[in-house]
């Protein structure tokens, strides 16, 4: 099932990064299977467990949902800093400027020095993604490798300090703040 809310929506399509995607320009996101109704009532009884292809090999914590906030200030620029390998959870989503935003988010990100795996829920849509990541100064570049339907890259700015980092997404004037858990 196609979705445009995956990590790409988080960093690329809505963020101004360059993309090379499937013929319609969309992103094929790995999603958790929908519940299956095993009975005659209208409620789903069983949710099949996702397989590794559907989760892009993700194995990390499932953090609670948080609400996005809005700041009337201008969005800051990334200041750089080393993002250390580990498991991070999203603890704040901030939009900047005069706008109204009603969104709920949850994300868990597992990084190494050169790769990432992500589980993201945005407004009830759960997606998984994996790829390569590189850092240089205040910039980072991602290249999505899972789901393997499309190839997409983007470069963004970040600020990192011990145990936390923030990604800045200029097109949406949005910042995503993660804290290290492991």
Tell me, yes or no, whether 158 lies in a domain.
yes
Strand 86-96 versus strand 69-71 pairing type: parallel
Domain, as residue range, for 64: 7-30+59-180
Tell me, yes or no, whether 46 lies in a domain.
no
pLDDT at 179: 96
Contact 101, 14 (CB under 8 A): no
The CATH number assigned to the domain holding 126 equals: 2.40.128.280
Tell me, yes or no, whether 79 lies in a domain.
yes
Tell me, yes or no, whether 35 lies in a domain.
no
β partners of residue 143? 132, 153
Tell me, yes or no, whether 73 lies in a domain.
yes
Burial 131-148 (b: 16+ CB within 10 A, else e): bebebeebebebebbbbe
Q: Number of structural domains, the chain?
A: 1
| Cα separation, 168 vs 72, whole angstroms | 16
pLDDT at 72: 95
> pLDDT 10s per residue in the chain (182 long)?
333 333 334 443 323 333 333 322 333 334 333 333 334 444 333 333 455 557 888 888 889 999 999 999 999 999 988 788 999 999 999 999 988 899 999 999 999 888 999 999 999 998 888 998 888 888 888 888 887 655 567 788 899 988 999 999 888 899 999 999 97
Tell me, yes or no, whether 50 lies in a domain.
no
| Cα separation, 96 vs 150, whole angstroms | 30
Question: Where are the strands (E) in 57-150, listed by range?
Answer: 66-67, 69-71, 86-96, 104-111, 115-122, 125-136, 139-146
| Cα separation, 128 vs 111, whole angstroms | 14
pLDDT at 15: 33
Tell me, yes or no, whether 37 lies in a domain.
no
Contact 152, 21 (CB under 8 A): yes
pLDDT at 151: 58
Tell me, yes or no, whether 64 lies in a domain.
yes
pLDDT at 83: 83
Q: Which helix (H) or strand (E) holds 54?
A: helix 52-55
| Cα separation, 170 vs 11, whole angstroms | 10
């Amino acid at each position: 099932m196609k979705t445009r809310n995956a990590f790409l929506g988080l960093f690329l399509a809505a963020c101004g990064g360059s993309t090379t995607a499937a013929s319609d320009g969309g992103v094929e996101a790995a999603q958790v299977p929908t519940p299956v109704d095993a009975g005659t009532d209208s409620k789903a009884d069983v949710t099949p467990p996702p397989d590794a292809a559907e989760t892009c090999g993700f194995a990390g914590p499932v953090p609670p949902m948080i609400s996005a906030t809005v700041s009337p200030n201008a969005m800051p620029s990334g200041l750089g800093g080393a993002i250390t390998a580990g498991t991070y959870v999203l603890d704040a989503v901030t939009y900047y400027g005069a706008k109204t935003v009603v969104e709920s988010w949850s994300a868990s990100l597992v990084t190494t020095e050169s790769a990432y795996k992500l589980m993201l829920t945005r407004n009830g849509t759960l997606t998984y993604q994996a790829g390569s990541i590189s850092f240089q100064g205040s910039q980072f570049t991602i290249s999505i490798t899972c789901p393997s339907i499309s190839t997409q890259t983007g470069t963004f700015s970040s600020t990192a300090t011990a145990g936390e980092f923030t990604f800045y997404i200029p097109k949406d004037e949005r910042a995503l703040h993660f804290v290290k858990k492991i």
